[in-house]
């Protein structure tokens, strides 16, 4: 029995060595469970696709409050970072598949792991702060509708900038002081700080408890935290009335264009059908030309007959 599962790699002659995993990684794989390996790809695809779709579609909702739309787009950007984080973890899991213990130490100390972990913290903190801001904004508008406390453009932009600045500061502080935080993001294979039960590094433990407030385990990192990023586009955009109205308008315009095209094609087909069934007879060129009279007697007789018919 060892304190860390990585030490089992130094005792290959031992028949049974415990622990063989830390709840996240094993000696062979970065993600020990097949459920985690599948779920990390599913959630990363759903999160990235859903948030990018909302970012692209939000500008086309005309009836939407522009300031609220800016906040939602900012929230989608923060949630999309969580999808990128999961994608990176899944990619390195494939890279180290079957021989993770050989690369575990270098991976956890690498700049890739540090940046990936800071990306997850940035996404989590900004997403929580933005949801808090949106909730307070709605609360003020509902409880105090007749006071001048509504959102303003300058105020909203300032709050969004402050939220992103706070997120960057929280994510980068552990990288600024290695002596105090040690290897803050490299304590596990997924590069997510889980120091709430770490008694060796008191500084990292206090910082993690301050950020996350209760104990977080590895399954929460893979299953619970990304769910928030995946569901935010559904809750704040896809199920709202303006978005549904926009989808109905797009569908109505599409059906109108299809009907116009079908009517135009039917007219063209009908006209071409009648032309093929009853083609126009060509008039001989001789009949199109006026009659040529070369005899002056004939011309005089015709003119006289015309005059008589006119007077009669």
Residue with tokens 């995993």: 21
Please tell me whether residue 273 adopts helix, strand or coil conformation: helix
* pLDDT in the model for residue 205: 63
DSSP string covering 203-235: HHHHHHHHHHSS---HHIIIIIHHHHHHHHHII
* pLDDT in the model for residue 283: 46
How much is the pTM? 0.68
Please tell me whether residue 14 adopts helix, strand or coil conformation: coil
**Residue 31 to residue 43: CA distance in whole angstroms:** 15
Taking Cα atoms as reference points, which of 219, 197, 206, 128 lies closest to residue 174? Answer: 206
Residue 120 CB neighbours (<10 A): 25
Report the C-alpha dihedral over residues 222, 226, 227, 231, rounded to 10 degrees.
-160
* pLDDT in the model for residue 262: 76
Strand partners, 21: 26
Strand partners, 26: 21
Taking Cα atoms as reference points, which of 201, 130, 138, 180 lies closest to residue 159? Answer: 130
Tokens of 250: 């797009």
Q: Give me the sign of the Cα torsion angle 15, 34, 115, 206.
A: negative
Residue 239 CB neighbours (<10 A): 10
Return the DSSP state at 239: T
**Residue 132 to residue 4: CA distance in whole angstroms:** 38
Please give, one letter per residue, the 3-state secondary structure of 251-271. Answer: HHHHHHHHHHHHHHHHHHHHH
Q: Are the CB atoms for 44 and 94 separated by under 8 Å?
A: no
**Residue 124 to residue 141: CA distance in whole angstroms:** 26
Please tell me whether residue 15 adopts helix, strand or coil conformation: coil
Q: Does an H or E element contain 274, and which?
A: helix 241-277
User: Would you say domain 33-239 falls under CATH 1.20.1070.10?
Assistant: yes
**Residue 113 to residue 191: CA distance in whole angstroms:** 6
Report the C-alpha dihedral over residues 58, 61, 65, 70, rounded to 10 degrees.
10
Q: What is the pLDDT along the chain (312 residues), one digit of tens a residue?
A: 776 766 776 677 777 777 767 777 887 888 888 888 898 999 899 999 988 988 888 777 765 678 888 888 899 999 999 999 999 999 999 999 988 888 888 998 899 999 999 999 999 899 989 988 988 888 887 887 766 666 678 888 999 999 999 999 999 998 888 888 888 888 888 888 775 455 456 666 666 665 554 634 555 655 666 777 777 777 777 777 777 777 787 788 888 888 887 776 665 544 444 444 444 444 455 544 444 444 444 444 444 444 444 444
């Amino acid at each position: 029995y060892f304190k860390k599962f990585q030490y089992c790699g130094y005792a290959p002659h031992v028949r049974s060595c415990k622990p063989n995993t830390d709840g996240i990684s094993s000696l062979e794989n970065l993600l020990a469970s097949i459920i985690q390996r599948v779920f990390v790809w599913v959630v990363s695809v759903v999160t990235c696709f859903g948030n990018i779709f909302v970012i692209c579609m939000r500008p086309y909702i005309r009836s939407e409050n522009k300031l609220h739309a800016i906040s939602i787009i900012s929230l989608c950007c923060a949630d999309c970072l969580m999808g990128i984080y999961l994608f990176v973890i899944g990619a390195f899991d494939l890279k180290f598949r079957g021989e993770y213990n050989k690369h575990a130490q270098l991976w956890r100390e690498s700049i890739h792991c540090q940046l990936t972990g800071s990306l997850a913290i940035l996404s989590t903190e900004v997403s929580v702060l933005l949801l808090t801001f949106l909730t307070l904004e709605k609360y003020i508008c509902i409880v105090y509708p007749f006071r001048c406390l509504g959102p303003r453009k300058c105020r909203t932009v300032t709050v969004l900038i402050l939220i992103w600045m706070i997120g960057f500061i929280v994510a980068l502080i552990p990288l600024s002081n290695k002596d105090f935080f040690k290897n803050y993001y490299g304590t596990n294979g997924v590069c997510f700080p889980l120091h709430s039960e770490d008694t060796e590094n008191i500084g990292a433990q206090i910082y993690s408890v301050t950020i996350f407030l209760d104990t977080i385990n590895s399954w929460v990192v893979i299953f619970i935290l990304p769910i928030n990023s995946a569901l935010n586009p559904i809750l704040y955009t896809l199920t709202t009335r303006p978005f549904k109205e926009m989808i109905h308008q797009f569908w109505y315009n599409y059906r109108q264009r299809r009907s116009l095209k079908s009517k135009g094609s039917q007219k063209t087909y009908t006209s071409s059908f009648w032309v093929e069934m009853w083609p126009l007879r060509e008039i001989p060129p001789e009949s199109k030309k006026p009659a040529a009279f070369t005899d002056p007697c004939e011309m005089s007789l015709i003119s006289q007959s015309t005059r008589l018919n006119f007077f009669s």
